[in-house]
Amino acid sequence: MKKLLLILALIALIMPKQVSAIEQFKTSYLVSYTIFPTGETHVEQEITIENKENDILATTYSNSIKQMEIYDVTGTDTRGPLTIELSKEDDVTHIKAELLDRVVGKGKKSQIYLSYKTKDIATKVGEVWNINLPQVSGLETIDTYQVSIHVPKTFGPLIFVSPKPLEQYEDNLTTTFTYNKELVNNTGITAAFGKYQLINFKLKYHLNNENWFAAVQEIALPPNIPYIQQVKLVQMNPTPRNLYIDADGNTMAEYKVPAGKDLLIEVVGAAKVLGKQIQPEFGGKMHELPLSVRKNYLHAQPFWEAEAEQVKQKANELFDPKKTVSQNAQSVYNFVINTLEYDQSIEQAEYVQRHGALKALTEEGPWACMEFTDLFIALTRAMGIPSRELNGYAFNKTEGVTSLEVEFDTKDLLHSWPEYYDPNFGWVMVDPTWGDTSGIDYFTKLDTNHVVFVIRGSESEYPYPAGAYKLDEEDKQVEIDFSQNTNELFKEHIQLQHSKSILTRLLELITSKKYYTAYNDSGLIIKDFNNSGKILFPFDKVRIVLEEGATISFEDYTGKSKSLDYSIIE
């Protein structure tokens, strides 16, 4: 399993007898990461080396840092400044220094102070600051390891931090998180700051009707996902004949395609993406899973072979009836990332064949994100945990850490990841592929860089995501960028056009009510419009009768009932 590692090759020794360096020294680390508002990070390490024997001494300090550019490197020990030697080999920077303070004797201590700067820990992606401290290798050889991370308040509110810190406190300028060795022994530290991510998209869908008669075909638009993703449609050309939401929550658009014709559809919009973090131990119990969810999301499908004997056997081995739903799902997640090997060459491929869960479980890899996703879904379904697939786009700002894949013969970068259902948390997105390639926890939280194009649960192969509707191999169907306009971008609103007919004017005089045509000009889906139970889709029009000064209610994408803003055009 490939990980981004901060490798700590601690000490070179001169010893009068053949002994293990690990056995002869007690080491402790105090590491501080001070992140500036620009994203630059100042790293300070205080290393204490204590002799366990009388006849040994530490003479050299070395540190190897992988996939991180560092500069302004300085070091001292208790006798003064150290001469630092830097060398690079591929993506690894080696730091070496001869110690000035060479102490001899059991219980004697040497102290080293190392300082450097880097711009690779904190990166701003759109509206969100992401912090990634890679997993540390060799912690088993270190006696004490303590970390503090100081984040400027200018980064905005905390979206998530993982793992949960030992302590979290703040002052007027910074928020500080502290960790010990036990908390970071098998994982890196990740955090995100900001309100939400705003992403613009331009998508193309190419429909083809080879029949002799006109046919109705449909496309899947990026869906609304409660508390995770809200979608705004700015333009749809041409306008669909009908919009509806399917059983999985996808927004489906229907078009009538003439016989023997092609139809090119262009969709322009934006997505607001939020983060979600869970604590698996607080998840619900298996018997609390709703019947409606179990009914729809436990059955086997092509590529999700939940009924195969090998899959059921492995699911039984991983399942613990004493654990919560999320803890059992986490056991599946850990098994997948520890078992499957990711194929690093996939990103250069033009087409990736999907093999499914059974092959991924029983055959040697390497595999694509689809196999990581399919195996997670098959095992959780076999375990009795509802699960399904998400397919879309994932931003990768840290080269070599996370994966993007070409799933279709499209030149468009697409990614798939799963989600499971917990009675206490609802649907929870996870990304075992990125967990494997980064060594970072993508189970208890998912970052704001994943944009969902389609949800697959009822079927494993349909609906198709944007990027899959292509006739011309060179035609780029997916264009994604970060939005720069945050003002009132995602505020539900309608226009009310006052009816001018003579009949309605007379009715208004008699009833004291107003007759309007309501037009959804916000680009957002408006549910339970005016307590009607109906959905007012973007660009829809509907007749409405209102009392003088009445409010219009609706249900937002999180399920909350609110009053709808509107303007009246006489």
pLDDT tens-digit readout, 508-524:
667 777 888 899 999 99
Long-range contacts of 554-559 (CB under 8 A, 24+ apart): 554/492, 554/526, 554/527, 554/528, 554/529, 554/530, 555/527, 555/528, 556/492, 556/527, 557/224, 557/225, 557/226, 557/230, 557/524, 557/525, 557/527, 558/226, 558/227, 559/226
Report whether pLDDT(1) > 70: no
For 279-472, CATH number out of 3.40.50.1100, 3.10.620.30, 3.40.50.2000, 3.10.20.30 equals 3.10.620.30
Report whether pLDDT(407) > 50: no
Edge-to-edge strand ranges of the sheet holding 25-35:
80-81, 70-77, 109-118, 41-51, 25-35, 144-152, 174-179, 167-170
Report whether pLDDT(408) > 50: no
Gap between the Cα atoms of 397 and 391, Å rounded: 19
Which has the closest alpha carbon to 253: 500, 466, 515, 518?
A: 466
52: three-class secondary structure by DSSP: coil
Contact 263, 214 (CB under 8 A): no
- How much is the pLDDT for 474? 67
Q: Which of 78-92, 142-156, 245-259 bottoms out in mean pLDDT, i.e. has the lowest? A: 78-92
Gap between the Cα atoms of 522 and 361, Å rounded: 46
Instruction: Let me know how many helices (H) and strands (E) the chain has, helices first.
Output: 8, 37
Report whether pLDDT(488) > 60: no
- Residue 95 carries which DSSP code? E
Report whether pLDDT(325) > 70: yes
Residues 6+ apart with CB under 8 A from 309: none
Contact 35, 120 (CB under 8 A): no
- How much is the pLDDT for 19? 37
Residue with tokens 């993007």: 404
Reported as a single tens digit per residue, the pLDDT across 539-550 is: 999 988 887 778
What does DSSP say about strands 215-221 and 229-237: parallel, antiparallel, or unpaired? unpaired
- How much is the pLDDT for 337? 95
Q: Which of 19-28, 148-157, 346-355, 463-472 bottoms out in mean pLDDT, i.e. has the lowest? A: 19-28
What percent of the chain clears pLDDT 70, i.e. is strictly above it? Answer: 90
- How much is the pLDDT for 34? 97
326: three-class secondary structure by DSSP: helix
Gap between the Cα atoms of 548 and 119, Å rounded: 59
Residues 6+ apart with CB under 8 A from 258: 209, 214
Report whether pLDDT(413) > 70: no
What does DSSP say about strands 565-569 and 493-498: parallel, antiparallel, or unpaired? parallel
- How much is the pLDDT for 25? 78
What percent of the chain clears pLDDT 90, i.e. is strictly above it? Answer: 55
Which has the closest alpha carbon to 159: 167, 151, 418?
A: 151
- How much is the pLDDT for 239? 94
Q: What SS3 string covers 168-185?
A: EEECCCEEEEEECCCCCC
Mean pLDDT of all residues belonging to the chain:
86
Domain ranges across the chain: 5-193, 197-273, 279-472, 493-569
Higher pLDDT, 478 or 309: 309
Residues 6+ apart with CB under 8 A from 282: 324, 326, 424
- How much is the pLDDT for 310? 97
Strand partners, 160: 192
Gap between the Cα atoms of 524 and 518, Å rounded: 14
Nearest-10 Cα torsion for 13, 17, 20, 23: -100
Residue with tokens 């219980």: 107
The yes-or-no answer to whether 5-193 and 493-569 have a common fold is yes
Long-range contacts of 497-504 (CB under 8 A, 24+ apart): 497/569, 498/568, 498/569, 498/570
- How much is the pLDDT for 15? 34
CATH number belonging to domain 5-193: 2.60.40.1730
pLDDT band at 3 (very low <50, low <70, confident <90, very high): very low
- How much is the pLDDT for 126? 80
- How much is the pLDDT for 57? 72
CA-CA distances (angstroms) from residue 182 to 50, 55, 131?
A: 21, 31, 20
- Residue 552 carries which DSSP code? -
Strand partners, 130: 123, 192
- How much is the pLDDT for 168? 95
- How much is the pLDDT for 350? 62
Q: What is the pTM of this model?
A: 0.83
Gap between the Cα atoms of 551 and 546, Å rounded: 8
pLDDT band at 13 (very low <50, low <70, confident <90, very high): very low
Report whether pLDDT(404) > 60: no
Q: Which top CATH class is 493-569?
A: mainly beta
- How much is the pLDDT for 243? 96
- How much is the pLDDT for 221? 96
Reported as a single tens digit per residue, the pLDDT across 419-468 is: 999 999 999 999 999 988 887 889 998 888 899 999 999 999 999 998 88
Reported as a single tens digit per residue, the pLDDT across 181-238 is: 999 888 888 899 988 888 899 999 999 999 999 999 999 999 999 999 999 999 999 9
Higher pLDDT, 114 or 139: 114
- How much is the pLDDT for 67? 75
- How much is the pLDDT for 141? 80
What does DSSP say about strands 387-394 and 197-208: parallel, antiparallel, or unpaired? unpaired
Gap between the Cα atoms of 232 and 483, Å rounded: 12
Strand partners, 258: none
pLDDT band at 14 (very low <50, low <70, confident <90, very high): very low
